[in-house]
Structure 1
Amino acid sequence: MTLHIHVLRAWWAGRPPAAGAAVMATGIVSVGLQLLGHEGLSVAALVLACAAWTALAADFGVVLVRDRAKWVTQAGSPGALTAVAATTVVGTRFALLGATPVAAALLAVAVLLWPVLLVLVARGLGPRMPGAVFLGCVATEGLAVLGATLSATTSTAWLAHAALVLFWLGLVLYAGALFRFDPREVARGAGDQWVAGGALAISALAGAKLLTAAQAGPRLWNNLAETVLRYTTVAVLALALAWYAVLLISEVVRPRFRYDVRRWSTVFPLGMTAAATLSVATAVSVPWLAHLGRALVWVAVAVWLTVAAGAVAAARNDLRSLSFGGGTGSTAPR
């Protein structure tokens, strides 16, 4: 028993910061299923997301207390921002369930983490970065999504105004990340190249949530501001769908079937694009977009199941290697 615990600890210690994308992916699949009315499946996915989030949050706190140097090193990786994004995605699902106190608590946690991790990650950015460079935008827009969702459900105007600022800031961060992104990653990336499109998708979702908040409560801004927001949201969704097409074609031309932990960063954009398409369709009253969104949700579910199967197989191999090989195992991306 002691040996098994040691093996599990060793395996968990090798988990990369990007593993938080699994929570993001599972959380947004839960949101997508909820938007389709499949509440049972949605809640099941939420339970999995919460379990993974709890384990990662506990590890985050333990490392911070016991090994500050390791924590700083991990926090400087772009993948560390998945902690913020994952928290906001799970919080958004709780907000849609009507669990406002839980969603508000998760928003507070994400707000506290966001500036610290954003600054640490920004210090280590350079040219020709992988798709994880867009996680600054994703984390910021995640705050906007959760803030706008809570604003709509609680009729809290200041949350919507704060979310609007974060929406525009997220787009600025996206533009900055685009200049640092290595375009060769589209053809050779191991999965996180999809975040280039997923960051735009979550931006479109934030815009849709802001439009919904404006329709649900008191007047939040003038007609000009709402018109600009509406057109920007539609344009951002169009760009996200264009990225979706480009990245999908790249996957067909150059298939990458081997499991890699960064494949969770493929599932998240797939699910986020689906959720954004459905939400924008409702917010701007374009019914035909909803048909596309429904199809994209099932694509995301299918890919989630595939990646989850790969993750289970990889974990089994790593644990076997640690148990019988006497080595360190390999939870590195592959």
Structure 2
Amino acid sequence: MTDYLQGMLTGQPALPPQGENAVLFWREKGEGILELIPRTPRQPGSLIISAGIHGNETAPIEILNQLVTEILGGECVVAQRLLVIFGNPAAIRQGVRFVDYDMNRLFSGYRDKLPPCDESQRAAQLEQAVSEFRGQDPAQSVCWHLDLHTAIRGSLYPKFGLLPASPRPRNASFIDWLGRAGLEALVFHQAPGGTFSHFTCHTLAAESCTLELGKALPFGCNALADFDCARQALRARIGGDTETPATPDTPPRHFRVVRQLTRTGADFHLHMSDTTPNFTWFPPGTILSEEGGRSERVLHPEGERVLFPNPRVAYGQRAGLMLEEEL
């Protein structure tokens, strides 16, 4: 049995840099970047699945490793060109979110504002790898990018997706698949960002989503059964949408980002506790944050919800996103 992750953790690769079996060819395009090409593709287009952009979000890493094991063992058929990415090997080995800087803020040129570091170099390598992979697709073919994560804090909707702002209309089949993968809420960005999924959406014209699948825990502490729906949906997509989970009785709720709370100085104060769950609702007029004598309040007459509240981010970074529900 091939354990790609174990080889990466120990520095003793489980695979040669390239090879083949009866049904596919594989090639390693860099550490943790594995291209898998079926001998006889059953559907056009391509698929990118990434995990471990944050090294301590271990459940998606373990799920992706299981899928690679099943693919190379012949238990999971690959229906189209597939690129598998273990995003931040150095952070994965150390069991930390990042080594020098949050890598999911460093794509699409955002790293140019910082001195070079481990994550900025890795982000550049990943951009090159996905661009080369996408460049081998026929013109106008569909590419999906599913970037798997788990969240730091609890959430009223434990499984949710974040879709980057896109110049294209929403893809109905992509949105449908996200619901079938068990996501309870979908959040639609309205502005550019430095995330991996934003890069693939805008630069590669991919249908892209950051999937938050639960709580971030160390290796060995994950109840992987809690991720069965997402794992089944991923396996089905790899195999050509065979045995995709059924449409849920309750579809995901849709939210749009209306603004960002940004910490710019030492006197920033976020009026939320460290235990405030994602998607907590605040009524109109609630003070959300204060800094420099100015305050941010809930503006929407139906109230707003918060996502990723964190008062201890670096200056200039996001301390929270405020959402409105699409009804």
TM-score between both structures, scaled by the size of structure 2:
0.29
Higher relative contact order (CA 8 A, sep 6+): 1
Higher helix share: 1
Higher strand share: 2
TM-score between both structures, scaled by the size of structure 1:
0.28
